[in-house]
Amino acid sequence: MRIVILAVVAVLSVPLTAQQGGETAPVVYQVSFPAPEHRFAQVEATFSEVPQTLELRMSRSSPGRYALHEFAKNVYDVHAFGGDGKELELARPNPYQWNVSSPDGTVRLQYKVYGDHVDGTYLGIDTTHAHMNLPATLMWARHLDDRPVRVTFVPPAGLDWKVATQLFPTDSPWTFTAPNLQYLFDSPTELSAYTLKQFSVRNPDGKTYTIRAAIHSGATAEEIDRYADGLEKIVNEAVTVYGEFPKYEPGTYTFLADYLPSNSGDGMEHRNSTVVTGRALGNALSTASHEFFHCWNVERIRPQGLEPFNFEEANMTDSLWLAEGFTQYYGVLIMARAGLLDPVQAIGQFGSLARSVVFDSGRQFRSAVDMSRMAPFVDAARAVDRTNFKTTFISYYTYGGAIALGLDLTLRERSNGKVTLDDFMRAMWRTYGAPGGPAPGLVAHPYSVADVRDRLADVSGDRGFATDFVNRYIVGREALDYARLFARAGIDWRQRDRGHAWLGDLRVDAQMKIVDLVDPGTPAYDAGLEQDDVITAANGKDVASPQALQAILRAAKPGDHIQIAFTRRDGPRTATIVLKEDPTVDVVPLESPSADQKAFRDGWLGSQRH
């Protein structure tokens, strides 16, 4: 995708004046906001030394987002001009593309793009800010991916805005550069009157980096201080997992924190920054903890399928259970280790991850690898038609989080606490992350599931264990024995309602209509009940409310039969439900763990800073 360009440029006759010191001509953007109240940006882009036909594209995807997002829909008032200023004709070969032929090798493109959605994926412009995800904002040209880029932002007159971004700074506070298209589109940019907080960190090699937070929010100064203090704790705890910070190429890592009542909640990782958004700053640290972990895991320890990111298609990888799931686990773990989350709450969150994988019906149909491949259909994707994802899909955040939890506890159990998941992450970092790539924004060695198995073999010192673990719990659909693993840390996996009759976790409304899909493998499913059926009677008695059905269940025992009458789309029906025992478990840390259990728990959930 990227290497075509040299061949194309070589055969063109282009004016030599456009070349600077033998380098390819940069792509130059200017982004202005002439009327922010109308929520559009005016973009001007200049492409020099271009091929005979320049293929201009709006992206259909964005780094870290896996569903298609048609950013072209918000583009309008598009014009192109040649180097002589004459307007050129634009062709539209497909909905995402504008083709233009320039007689002199230069195309000056102008268009407007509307945006009113503040999160990590889209564009949001109003009189308080321009919150830009660049794939949602900038048109790009095919075959020019390797060209350096120069972007100048023009703030609206009279507003006190400044720029926050991971783009490389220049002498002008409004002009930034990127070495290539991949880096450019990985660089969300916020223009607003944000509050800047920063601190520096030091690597073992002596290099220092500045960690910045650009906080655009209505929060009080105290709330912003508390948030910034929390970020510093998170950053200093997270680095203990890997032993070093990545090479942040601009010398900085930036949290672009945007918390306003009209925002959508989101967190989106990037190489040297993250966008974290929501309505209020209150509980924002857990999002920051997750996203910061991504500057190692996904941005540099990168799964095959996401490298290089394809802006024209959905991007699929086998490994989101690691890229997102392990990050989910560490986001919580680091909050606990940094003293920002009560360990009991962390254990509660880990318990939820494990329970989902053990009990949710999705695992009957798909493995962690299969779940990862579903991302283009579930990651901020909107379907018009109904899906049965509720019963056939478990989020790779949850599934992978549970695998991380189970693997961490397994490694600790096997080695008596000497080998942990941190060692595995460090092995992944050394092999795939730390070596870097040919240019900022590129990763030379993205990993496969087989690579994960090999690094697990290295870290555990047991190839048979690594192969078995990957085959059973990652490629296969088995669940780990969480009851046993939790016991080592003094955490009880406790059946909640032993001996109680259960027909499944049925969701019904006040009129006894089943409002959600019925889980395969439950008594209600086996009896043929499904979403939209309306239950009318049980054992010959009218059932007018969920409470009435509950009363009948309370009086019954596992193994009992219940005669159900219900109304389906095609008329009244009856069925026999064979009740089972309620399998629901609670995950409860023992209040008085043994000394051994306490030591295990402290080694796991306690701070790793020395």
- Contacts with Zn ion by CB under 5 A lie at 324, 327
Q: At 230, which helix (H) or strand (E)?
A: helix 221-242
Residue type, 601: R
And the tokens for 316?
A: 């699929």
Q: What is the DSSP letter of 20?
A: B
Nearest to Zn ion of 263, 391 (CB atom): 263
Residues 6+ away with beta carbon under 8 Å from 136: 59, 62, 69, 71, 74, 113, 115, 121, 122, 123
How near is the Cβ of 323 to Zn ion at its closest, in Å? Answer: 7
Shortest CB 324 distance to Zn ion, Å:
5
What's the distance, Cα to Cα, between the start and end of the chain in Å? 45
Name the residue nearer to Zn ion (CB basis): 33 or 66: 66
| Closest CB to Zn ion among residues 269, 519 | 269
- Joined together, the tokens standing for residue 174 give 């409004």
Beta carbon nearer to Zn ion, 40 or 122: 122
Shortest approach of Zn ion to residue 275 CB, angstroms? 12
Q: CB of residue 190 vs Zn ion: minimum separation in angstroms?
A: 19
Q: How far apart are the C-alpha atoms of 186 and 164, rounded to whole Å?
A: 14
User: Looking at beta carbons only, is 48 or 287 nearer to Zn ion?
Assistant: 287
Nearer to Zn ion, 324 or 454 (CB): 324
| Cβ neighbours around 123 below 10 Å, total | 25
Q: What's the closest the beta carbon of residue 456 comes to Zn ion, in angstroms?
A: 21
Q: How far is the CB of 265 from Zn ion (least distance, A)?
A: 13
CA-derived radius of gyration, the chain:
27
For residue 486, which amino acid is it? F
Render 468-498 in DSSP notation, one character per residue: HHIIIIIIS-----HHHHHHHTTEEEEESST
Specify the 3-state DSSP secondary structure of 54. Answer: strand
Task: Report the nearest approach of Zn ion to the CB of residue 294 (Å).
Answer: 6
Rounded Cα–Cα distance for residues 101 and 113 (Å) = 23
The DSSP annotation for 136-166 comes to: GT--EETT-TTS-EEEEEEPPTT---EEEES
Sign of CA dihedral 225, 231, 232, 237: positive
Shortest reach from residue 319's CB to Zn ion, in Å? 13
Q: What is the DSSP letter of 498?
A: T
Cβ proximity to Zn ion: between 324 and 408 the closer is 324
Please, which residue, 180 or 297, has the CB nearer to Zn ion?
A: 297
